[in-house]
Structure 1
Amino acid sequence: MSRPTSRTILIAAVAAGLAAGMTTAAASPGAAPPTTRQEAYAAAAEEFGVPESVLLGVSYLESRWDVNAGLPSTSAGYGPMHLTDIVAANTGGTHHDEGTEDPRGDTARPMLPPDPGEDDLSAPTLRTIDVAADLTGVDAAVLRTDPVQNIRGGAALLADHQRALGVDSAAPGDWYGAVARYSGASDTASARTFADEVFRTINEGVSRVTDDGQRVQLPPTAVNANTRQLSGLGLRQADTGEAECPADLGCEWIPAPYEEFGDGDYGNHDKANRPQSQKIDYIIIHDTEGSYQTTLNLVQDPTYVSWQYTLRSADGHIAQHVKHKDVAWHAGNWYVNAKSIGLEHEGFAANGAWYTEAMYRSSAKLVRYLAGRYGIPLDRQHILGHDNVPGTIPSTVRGMHWDPGPYWDWAHYFELLHAPFRSTGTSRTGLVTIKPDYATNMPAFTGCKTAGQPCEPHGSGTVVLRTAPSDDAPLLTDIALHPDGSPGTMHISDHSARGETGQTFALAERRGAWVAVWYLGQKGWLKASDAAWSVGFVATPKKGRDSVPVYGRAYPEAAAYPDGIPPQAVTPLQYTLPAGQKYAIGLVSPSEYYRAVTYDSANHTVVRGEMKYLQIQFGHRVAFVNVDDVDVRLSFM
């Protein structure tokens, strides 16, 4: 029997046991197994002498108490306590293997060779399951797949940290040091950030139903955390240096090098003077597909690429590498790079399906700070995934990267941003915002580990779009990804026919329980229950035009370029926007080109034109249309 099939059977067996209120092993030798998840936390807390509120708080920060069907997180963590097992999780392969994207995305410069490097998998934070196995006597395979034993393993780790600190107390506040140690942080600021979030959760309380239907509650409990314990952990003081970050996140300054290395070449970013030189319009969400340490190694290579921030999974620690004013090479589209800030979130396992709560929370705090500082609206037109950034010209579209992928929980992320997706219209207002239930929406993706093989079922914020209102209808066609005109597929990286939570499309038709939206020049059908009604502005071709071109970058007209700066071609993508179709407008984009091809930033110039563009939600990725080619109207007109 093949390995994927065996894994499927194992996970199904675990899920079946949970549905029946059972587990695959007793909570401790000789004890009857807990019948609910809540009882599992209580039993593990009592067995290892950990305050139940502390155990629940730590688990919530790691996984929100979810089991994720036994799948690893993108950073090799398993189960409610996020016990890490890099050996089991790291099967090789990354989203970079399937793309030829040039991170700079600037056709005025030679293409950077893709070179993600070798992963550094030596960090102890990637192997906590081995310690938990020693402490509990439970095999690592069981700790990965059995939620009860996973919780026991996490409780044992917390108790072990408490013993190492020499603290003997049942008061939850006296476990602050053990909680900080559980984060895996090597610096004081990150350990404090994680522990503070845990104790904030304990004080505020939380209640939710997990992804496998278990009701878990952490009642609000007033706790005065003994933060003095932090100084006894022997952690280093991170160099906050020039980091631009909220004080309570304790961001570390690990600068990317700006170096010249011969033949007029240099790296790994460009000096600029934003926002004075250019407005910052976007925040781009990435998944590193490399371990945290590997990612730091890459961004410190002057011959490679760059981004503004890296976020670590286990504790949400943030390192900054490029100042906001400068342009990092990260999104594969020079226009977007010049007007964005890039956030890389740790994750390396190609089959990883989820992200830690600690990282979501740190990321959301950082994005709120950035959005407030630069006036960036908190919506899906300005907060883009890398997979939403368009290719620059027809030849680059197919090679664009697709992170953070369909398992990033945009709905939860925007709740943490304090900007949840809500209906703003009715069935008559003309716009549809994608909004499936993440936990129960499980598209049948393939190829997570082996081409053609089903991915393990997991919640997703992505819905697929079909050619007719039927579950059996073919998917839409993306002519850039499938030049032969064949339909899109369910392969994990094939976003030919996918809408993503928070994206807004223009309504094309309604039929029973289905709605159709305009998508890549076609009607794409989805269940009405996976969407919310919205209102806004749309773009449609001007009267008399059969179609209008669509662009991947908003570059100026040739006449705008001064002497000495070669005009960049205003090249349409392979798509067109046909007459009679409408597309939701995200923002008005000025025509700009940042000319930066020399090490000396004195030679860098922003070229601005008279042309204006509208950013539209054209497919899974955004696109641009010339204002002069379209009419703008309210979505219900």
Structure 2
Amino acid sequence: MHIRLTATLIAGTLTSPAAVPAAVSTSGRQADFAAAAREYGVPESVLLGVSYLESRWDTNGWSPSTAGGYGPMHLVDAPPGRRPLSALRMADPPASLPQAGLLIGADPATLRKDPAANIRAGAALLASYQDRPSADPSAWYEAVARYSGAADETGAQQFADEVFSVMREGVERRTDDGFLVRLDPVPALSSPREQSENADVECPASLACEWMPAAYRRFGKKSNRDYGNHDHLSRTRAVDYIVIHDTEGSYKGIPSMINDPKYVSWHYTIRSGDGHVAQHVPTNDIAWHAGNWDVNTRSIGIEHEGRLAQGGTWYTEAMYRSSAKLVKYLADKYDIPLNRAHILGHDNVPGPTPKAVPGMHDDPGPYWDWAHYFDLMGKPLKEAKNGDSIMIRPSYGENQSRFTGCAGGKPAKDCPKHGAATVWLHTQPSESSPLVSDPGKHAGTPGTYSVYDQSARASTGQRYAVAARQGDWTAIWYLGQKAWFHNPPSNPTAVPAKGPVVTPLKAGTKVYGRAYPEKSAYKLASYQPLAPLPYKIGPGQQYTVGGTITGSYYAAGAFSPAKHVTTTGDLRYYQIQLGHRVMFVMAKDVRLID
């Protein structure tokens, strides 16, 4: 990839400028940033911008990030060796915790537990990357890029671009020390902007994306059928969903996985530390990522470096912002609604068959901040006037629900307290009552509090029909039963929403994990049985509708796209929010209430 640097103003923002409150406390983390900025001659806006992209100014419970970074300044304890980048004179290694400690005379243990020391050390390290002292924030672009720790120039510049974007917009939030921190907007800020001349990538202009192609080649004896790791198409396909994944591993393993034709594939990967984006599969081609072929044929998959249990607390702002820009770009390109019925987590994808249901994936998990993500896309999850249903929307930072199993082992220990985007669902309006049961996953036993078990959870942005209310509790229709969650008026975890719902016409109405056509529609492809899932719904229940689908099946299974066959029938389905996952009901089996 040839890189060109041009001096220009980066256009476009994803969030509105921060509203200026009456006052911001001079105590807490705001004071720590101000003091460190003065001590080391770093503009406070630069220091705040860098830290916001790295950690959103939080300590994250002093858990290390995917890259081994700690604290508000994401100082890396044992960074891997990185090659220097000539254009930006990258340090090796950048954002080093031991190096930062030497600059301020603090031992590594202190930097892993003291936020003020961590911020001081980060400021000293950032200042060491600056050739000439300057009070002008725009003069710090190269130092910010070096601080990113990116292994390549593209990622370093992408990180710096996002820091400067945050500085232009301004932002404020209450951090994990309980105090409000504010970065005032710097609206006239200008910065160098990287532009990619690689025509292969499909990305918004504000993201410098890398083309890292997935393997597409034959292997084995049956050369026409033994191939990987995705399907080329000879026609234009419709895309209904974008599926959000996490890698459950580090970015450094991505090239070898994506280049293995016997492995699965996905369209994009986003790196945690700097938000760098790599594209692997053209968006018009089918990647093998969702665990459900029907969803694969109608979706784009985006992996995010991280782990839902440990790294889940370190989904970085740099990654959120790059991902939000990318999703908004793809949604515009394919006319995909920006809502939680179409922007799915991997944990929202239905099992295609009863046998597959227990093993469906759980990422990105409860720590993915859906409300913040949609804010960045310019599509905030707002309450509706005269709502006839509800949308789950707890306050992420305050919603520190109980989870177990983050550290593994048996018996499972409670996870460290952290904000979450989900609410627990009980059989009765009481915290002491059992969690609801998922018939497809637990066979009649209650759901668990495991961070990996989504069977008794509802997630931010998901819309449900109200089944009952009692005091501070609300019940929704969920997997064929009433499921109760705590929803006090003083601190609501759901807001009014509006949209169509369906109600079953008879008892035992079947639910499906894929919207395939009727048997008579198959002429050239093998018939795909309509296998109902282990869930049944009945009259009196209501489920929210995400869309209407005409049954179709895309038969690939051959290296050459010319041998692929599309079967389209007359059978119509509604996509419904049945539980934590979306599923499908036949339109003939339900009544639509619009």
Output aligned runs, 1:286-305, within 5 Å: 286-305=245-264
Could you tell me how far 1:184 is from its partner in structure 2? 2.2
| 2:97 counterpart SS class | helix
Would the alpha carbon gap of residues 126 and 342 (structure 1) be closer, same or farther in structure 2, given more than 3 Å must change?
Answer: farther
Counterpart among 338, 342, 352 of residue 392 in structure 1 = 352
Please tell me the residue identity of whatever aligns with 2:404: T
Contact 1:132–1:156 (8 Å) recurs in 2: yes
2:126 alignment partner, SS class: helix
Equivalent-residue separation in structure 2 for 1:78 and 1:288 (angstroms): 20
> C-alpha displacement at 1:225, in angstroms?
4.2
What is the Cα deviation at residue 620 of structure 1? 0.6
8 Å contact kept, 1:257–1:300: yes
Aligned partners of 1:591 and 1:611 also within 8 Å: yes
3-state DSSP class of the match of 2:281? coil
**3-state DSSP class of the match of 1:615?**
strand
Q: Partner letter of residue 167 of structure 1?
A: R
Distance 1:270 1:584, change over 3 A: same
2:210 to 232, 252, 266: 252
Shift of 1:151: 0.9
Does the CA-based 8 Å contact 2:551-2:571 persist in structure 1?
yes
Output the CA distance in 2 between the equivalents of 1:461 and 1:191: 30
**Amino acid in the other structure paired with 1:43:** A
Match of residue 502 from structure 2: 539
Task: Give the SS at the match of 2:482.
Answer: strand
| d(CA) in 1 for partners of 2:431, 2:526 | 50
**1 or 2, which has the higher helix percentage?**
1
**Are positions 1:632 and 2:592 aligned together?**
yes
Q: Does the 8 Å contact 2:308/2:364 carry over to 1?
A: no
Partner of 1:437: 395
- Residues 183-220 of structure 1: CA deviation (Å, up to 9, x unaligned): 22344443333222222322332222213311112223
Change (3 A) 1:86 1:271: farther
1:140 alignment partner AA: P
2:432 corresponds in structure 1 to: 472
State the shift of 1:86 in Å.
6.1
Unaligned runs of 5+ in 2: 1-25, 83-91
User: How far apart are 1:76 and its partner, in Å?
Assistant: 3.6
* CA distance in structure 1 between the partners assigned to 2:520 and 2:459 by the alignment: 38
Q: Does 1:157 align with 2:161?
A: no
- In the alignment, the residues of structure 2 paired with residue 348 and residue 300 of structure 1 have an alpha-carbon distance, to the nearest angstrom, of 22
Partners of 1:202 and 1:512 in 2: how far apart? 44
Q: Which residue of 1 aligns with 2:300?
A: 341
Q: Counterparts of 1:47-446 in structure 2 under 5 Å? A: 47-85=39-77, 128-162=96-130, 166-221=131-186, 224-225=189-190, 227=192, 240-264=198-222, 265-273=226-234, 276=236, 278-348=237-307, 350-352=309-311, 353-426=313-386, 429-446=387-404
* Contact 2:94–2:149 (Cα < 8 Å) also in 1: no
**8 A contact 2:203–2:326 mirrored in 1:** yes
Instruction: Provide the rounded CA distance (Å) in 2 between the counterparts of 1:179 and 1:273.
Output: 44
Q: Is the 8 A contact 2:423 2:485 kept in 1?
A: yes
CA contact (8 A) 1:64 1:80 kept: yes
Please give the per-residue CA displacement for 1:36-60, whole angstroms capped at 9, x wherever unaligned: 2111112211222212121011111
In the TM superposition, what whole-angstrom CA distance separates every residue of 1:502-537 from its partner, at most 9, and x where no partner exists?
Answer: 000111011111110000011000122210111211
Q: 2:463 aligns with which of 504, 521, 531?
A: 504
From 523, 535, 541, the counterpart of 1:575:
535
Residue 493 of structure 2 is matched in structure 1 by 530
Deviations 1:195-253 (A, max 9, x none): 2222232233222221331111222335544639x9xxxxxx97734001112201111
1:450 maps to which residue?
Answer: 408
CA distance in 2, matches of 1:129, 1:267: 41
The verdict on how the C-alpha distance between 1:349 and 1:371 changes in structure 2, with shifts beyond 3 A counting, is closer
Residues 323/184 of structure 1: CA separation in 2 closer, same or farther (3 Å cut): same
Give, in whole Å, the separation in 2 of the partners of 1:449 and 1:290: 15
Q: How many residues align?
A: 552
How far apart in 1 are the matches of 2:452 and 2:527?
Answer: 34
The code of the aligned residue for 1:146 comes to D
- The separation in 2 between residues aligned to 1:435 and 1:376, in whole angstroms, is 22
CA contact (8 A) 2:243 2:299 kept: yes
Aligned 8 A contact 2:95 2:122 in 1: no
Using the size of structure 2 for normalisation, the TM-score is 0.89
- Residues 349 and 610 (structure 1), Cα distance of their counterparts in 2 relative to 1, 3 Å cut: closer
Give the conservation status (yes or no) of the 8 Å contact 1:241–1:253: no
Preserved contact between residue 164 and residue 191 of structure 2 (Cα < 8 Å): no
Alignment check: 8 A CA contact 2:502 2:545 kept: yes
Checking the alignment, whether the CA contact within 8 Å between 2:308 and 2:366 is kept in structure 1 is: no
Aligned partner letter, 1:78: Y
1:190–1:450 distance in 2 versus 1, CA, 3 Å: closer
Indicate the residue corresponding to 1:550 in structure 2. Answer: 511
What amino acid is the match of 1:361? R
Distance 1:594 1:492 in 2: 34
What amino acid is aligned across from residue 504 of structure 2 in structure 1?
Answer: P
Indicate the SS of the match to 2:423. strand
Please say if residues 183 and 315 of structure 1, whose CA atoms lie closer than 8 Å, have aligned partners that are also in contact: yes
Q: Is the 8 A contact 2:215 2:228 kept in 1?
A: yes
* Aligned residue in 2 for 1:38: 30
**Following TM superposition, by how much is the alpha carbon of 1:371 offset from its aligned partner in structure 2, in angstroms?**
0.4
SS at match of 1:620: coil
Measure how far apart 1:74 and its partner are: 4.5
CA contact (8 A) 1:496 1:620 kept: yes
Query: Separation in 2 of the partners of 1:447 and 1:126?
Result: 33
Please state how far the C-alpha of 1:131 moved relative to its aligned partner: 3.0
Q: Using a 3 Å threshold, how does the CA distance of structure 1 residues 184 and 69 change in structure 2: closer, same or farther?
A: same
Q: 1:410 is aligned with what amino acid?
A: W
Distance 1:126-1:255 versus aligned 2 partners, 3 A rule = farther
Deviation at 1:128, TM superposition (A): 3.0
Structure 1 stretch 429-438 or stretch 282-291: which is displaced more?
429-438
> Structure 1 residues 72 and 186 mapped into 2: Cα distance closer, same or farther (>3 Å)?
closer
| Aligned mates of 1:130, 1:238 — CA distance in 2 | 35
Secondary structure at 1:145 match in 2:
coil
Which letter maps to 2:145?
A
> Please, which of 545, 570, 573 is the counterpart of residue 610 of structure 1?
570
1:490 corresponds to: 449
8 Å contact from structure 1 (residues 354, 408) kept in 2: no
Q: Which amino acid aligns with 1:521?
A: G
SS at match of 2:347: helix
The equivalent residue for 1:14 is none
- Comparing 588-597 with 497-506, greater Cα deviation is found at 588-597
| CA positional deviation for 1:152 | 1.6
Structure 1 position 600, deviation (Å): 1.4
Shift in alpha-carbon separation, 1:224–1:474, aligned structure 2, 3 A? closer
Matched-pair contact (CA < 8 Å) for 1:381–1:503: yes
The amino acid of 1:149's aligned partner reads A
User: What's the secondary structure of 2:264's corresponding residue?
Assistant: coil
